[in-house]
Amino acid sequence: MSRVAVLGAGLAGLSAASQLVADGHDVVVLERDGGPGGRAGTLVQAGFTFDTGPTVLTMPDLLDRAFSRIGANREELLPLRRLDPAYRALYADGSQLLVRANASDQVAEIRRRGLASDAVALPGFVAWLEELYALEMPNFIERNFDSPLDLLASPKAAARLLGLGGFSSLEKAVRRWFRDDRLVRLFTFQAMYAGLAPAEALAIYAVITYMDCIRGVYFPEGGMRAVPTALAGALSAAGADLRYDCPVTGLIQDSSGKLAGVVAGGERIAVDAVVVTLDLPTAYRQLLPDLAPPRGLAKAAWSPSALVWHVGVRGTPRPGVAHHNIHFAEAWESSFEELVTRKQLMSDPSRLVTVHSLDDPAAAPEGHSTLYVLEPVPHLGADIDWTAERGPARERLHHFLARNGYPDDIVTERLVTPMDWAAQGMAMGTPFSLAHTFFQTGPFRPSNVEPRLPGVFFAGSGTTPGVGVPMVLVSGELAAQRVGAYLGGRS
């Protein structure tokens, strides 16, 4: 039986471990923190519990896959509830739009807002998204690439993507379906997850819109932290060895130059392969100091970062507030110009407010609420002194809460800036990793294989296929496939 180490018990690492266990390997998961989660972390403070990582969960079938391949039932271990609405969108003119769970309800919602022609266009838009997804997922997302020439392995799929307008601008593609700017914003803001302005993102990234607005947004019983907790428990039951408070400080090579083990918690652990889930620049700096990072990282384009304010407040939201609330500012194109191109704070920022306690009552004391407030900001390549900016940023977010009718009598809080993300090991101080420009996508994204040290593989948002909960779950599967090929199917 081959022994494989997975460095990190975040979602990418747990997904990789699940596939490796299913393939018959002896798996040890080594996590520096005191429990599973990684970026999907938890903060407990003054009687409030905050999910500090991703707040939007889509594509539960990928989780079903991770559980089922190790003989576990996700529905029993991790009950999920589909949110309806998935989002409440609020606009500068005072109007609102809801993203509904049911397609017929979505048509009715758009029609109710007086957008009759856009309501008629919605079914065609959904069909377009479904076809994009059906083409992209098996041919370009759930697969490993060794060179750009591998794109030619699916010529019919590539030609059909071209025919569907997949390589045009995302914003232009969505405008072909809808006249109202509010709907265009609602169905293109997801480009921010890919680190791009909607006008600059390729239409292939409409698959994120599909995952978000068509396949639906879910919330786990017990909060987002329940996802890694449940999957880690299933892995332990399936025979994986999960070790917490066990940071890895080095990799061991044998005389032939292949990986032979890791140094973790002061112990030398012999392994045949390792899956590393640290951000790639951090992984090379800490674990592979004798190897130059991949050439593309030196001049990489990084996604914007985010201010995240975790706030425990007295009071509960007024009726109508949803779990996820997007406040679209009046500015749009100019905001992306400031954020992405000029790397400045947006003068008129859009923001997300997630109210976890609406669906996770244990997250806050009775009569109180947990709020998660996110504002996109530049990464650490910008000329911003976050030590000086922290106080003013916090005050702006506080005024924003009060101005928009959220409870704002603060009991406890924590503001996370790009400096804090960097301290957690996230390159350039962004939790969204490399931007999904054309030359940082698919076969052009940093590889999940380190050929100079055979036996070392990568998973996570910095490698293939990219950013977001669904993508990092897939990245774990792809890394495990690489391990299987390397070990020659030994079990």
How high is the pLDDT of residue 295?
Answer: 85
Packing angle of the helix pair 60-68, 226-237 (nearest 10 deg): 20
Q: What is the DSSP string of 455-489?
A: TEEE-STTSSS-SSHHHHHHHHHHHHHHHHHHTTT
Nearest to 29 by CA among 8, 10, 11, 12: 8
Packing angle of the helix pair 60-68, 469-486 (nearest 10 deg): 30
**Secondary element (H or E) of residue 269:** strand 267-270
pLDDT in tens, 248-267: 999 999 999 999 999 998 89
pLDDT tens for the chain, residues 1 to 491? 799 999 999 999 999 999 999 999 999 999 999 999 999 999 999 999 999 999 999 999 999 999 999 999 999 999 999 999 999 999 999 999 999 999 999 999 999 999 999 999 999 999 999 999 999 999 999 999 999 888 888 899 999 999 999 999 999 999 999 999 999 999 999 998 889 999 999 999 999 999 999 999 999 999 999 999 999 999 999 999 999 999 999 999 999 999 999 999 889 999 999 999 999 999 999 999 999 999 889 899 999 999 999 999 999 999 999 999 999 999 999 999 999 999 999 999 999 999 999 999 999 999 999 999 999 999 999 999 999 999 999 999 999 999 999 999 999 999 999 999 999 999 999 999 999 999 999 999 999 999 999 999 999 999 999 999 999 999 999 999 999 999 984 43
**Secondary element (H or E) of residue 109:** helix 103-112
| pTM for this model (two decimals) | 0.96
Residue 449 contacts by C-beta under 8 Å, 6 or more apart in sequence?
A: 456, 457, 458, 482
State the Cα–Cα distance between residues 41 and 58, nearest whole angstrom.
18
How high is the pLDDT of residue 463?
Answer: 96
> What are the distances in angstroms from CA 40 to CA 11, 141, 192?
8, 22, 19
How high is the pLDDT of residue 56?
Answer: 96
CATH architecture of 3-40+222-299+435-486: 3-Layer(bba) Sandwich (3.50)
The strand pairing partners of 105, in sequence order, are: none
State the Cα–Cα distance between residues 159 and 121, nearest whole angstrom.
25
pLDDT in tens, 43-86: 999 999 999 999 999 999 999 999 999 999 999 999 999 999 99
Calculate the CA 160 to chain-centre distance. Answer: 27
State the Cα–Cα distance between residues 195 and 471, nearest whole angstrom.
14
